[in-house]
Amino acid sequence: MRDTRTPDLDRYPELHSRWNRRTFIQGAAAGTALLALGGALYRLAGDDLTRAARAEARKDGRPRLPPGQRVIRQLRNMGGDEGPGDVKSFRLRVHGAVTTPFELDYAALLKLPQAEQSSDVHCVTGWSRLDALFKGVRVSTLAEKAGVKGDVRHVIFESHHGYTANVPFPEATAPNVMVSYRMDGKPFAIEHGAPVRAIVPDLYFWKSAKWLTGVRFVVRDEPGYWEVRGYHNHADPWAEERYG
């Protein structure tokens, strides 16, 4: 028995276009409703993660989630002038106030002692990504290999197109700070800094410079790209050091 809700398109072929259009509109409406429902569920899941993180504390006693932050599931693309993104052209200069400056290609970076760590990262715009698994080389390893001089006070992360970010030396050489080439077992996407970026988990994420080209050790501080544009020179998320 034919479904009476469907017109007899064999008998009335002129109705083909109208019926196809109606079917398309109904499908699109259903898809939009599902998309909206999915977005709402996604936000609710994020809210649950945010509440859970706010109830947790770090080993240093600070709350796991800094003030004004909300948990998301994936890194957001925060823009910037992208580097080439390929491993073949990658070069990293380790230089400045050191006794033995050197340069690494991608293969040489992978031959250095490797570290892997789970870290939370926090963007100044208000989102946080928890339990991201980063792999790379600790900045402290690069400092030791270069022979950093005793009067060094800051580290300058250098990137393509002149971008820089400054970090105090003790914080830049903390165990959880690294030059990283993988996140959650995968290479970084180009918009997230491929092939190599800095990871400085305990400062706002703009300090974790993308498309890294250099690690420079300096005696005097040199405020970076965002710092000279009004952002805070230090950028501690727990102190909400967003702007200078």
One domain, residues 22 and 101 = no
Residue 164 has pLDDT above 60, yes or no: yes
Q: What domain range is 40 assigned to?
A: 13-54
Is residue 161 a part of any domain in this protein? yes
The tens digit of pLDDT for each residue in 195-228 reads: 999 999 999 999 999 999 999 999 999 999 999 9
One domain, residues 43 and 80 = no
pLDDT of the residue at 26: 56
| Among candidate residues 143, 146, 151, 139, the one with its CA nearest the CA of residue 207 | 139
In the block, tokens 């105090």 appear at 168
Please, which residues bridge with residue 159 across strands? 212
pTM reported for the whole predicted model = 0.82
pLDDT of the residue at 42: 45
One domain, residues 146 and 227 = yes
Any alpha helices (H) in 147-243, and if so which ranges? 169-172
Radius of gyration (Cα) for the chain, nearest Å? 25
One domain, residues 37 and 83 = no
The answer to whether 194 touches 188, Cβ cutoff 8 Å, is: yes
Is residue 191 a part of any domain in this protein? yes
One domain, residues 171 and 140 = yes
- CA angle 104/109/113 to nearest 5° reads 130
One domain, residues 44 and 125 = no
Is residue 64 a part of any domain in this protein? no
The tens digit of pLDDT for each residue in 226-238 reads: 999 999 999 999 9
The tens digit of pLDDT for each residue in 10-57 reads: 555 555 555 455 554 455 445 544 445 544 444 545 789 999 999 999
Residue 168 has pLDDT above 80, yes or no: yes
Domains in the chain, number:
2
One domain, residues 35 and 101 = no
One domain, residues 213 and 172 = yes
The distance between the two most distant Cα atoms of the chain, rounded to a whole number of Å, is 91
One domain, residues 201 and 115 = yes
pLDDT of the residue at 139: 98
The tens digit of pLDDT for each residue in 113-160 reads: 999 999 999 999 999 999 999 999 999 999 999 999 999 999 999 999
Two structure tokens written together for 40: 């709402």
One domain, residues 104 and 175 = yes
One domain, residues 175 and 98 = yes
